[in-house]
Amino acid sequence: MNTKQIMIKAWKIAKKAAQYRGGKASEYFAIALADAWHYAKLAAKLANKTVRLHNAFAVKELVKSKGGRFEATTKAWVITGAAYAQLVEFFETSIDKSGGAAAWNSSVQVEIA
């Protein structure tokens, strides 16, 4: 991900925050830029990794949509590192109608291989 893509992602996050919380997108830009860098670094770090999500049944449809598969032997969903980074970004930037962030299921255990 290059810096232009990171800036575009940061503005999208800032606009979404402004839409639900009120105010201008520029007011949210600084924290949105930090978040965008965080997601880019996470995606780069996990690019060639495999991630196992234990107890991820609450988000199984979302995991399946990212190409995840269920491994019966370990009873875990297996997904690529890049797809996991997208899931983390989705949950951290999703804002519900009340203005709060959508919660990642806290019972999900992550194992990075």
Per-residue pLDDT of the chain (113 residues; tens, 9 = 90+): 789 999 999 999 899 889 888 999 999 999 999 989 988 888 888 888 888 888 777 677 778 888 888 888 778 888 888 888 888 777 777 655 444 445 555 567 778 87
What pLDDT score does 113 carry? 75
pLDDT of residue 104: 55
Token couple for 100: 């709060």
Looking at the DSSP bridge assignments, the partners of residue 71 are 76
pTM: 0.69
Spatial contact of 104 and 91, defined as CB atoms under 8 Å apart:
yes
Q: How many CA atoms are closer than 13 Å to the CA of 99, on its beta-carbon side?
A: 6
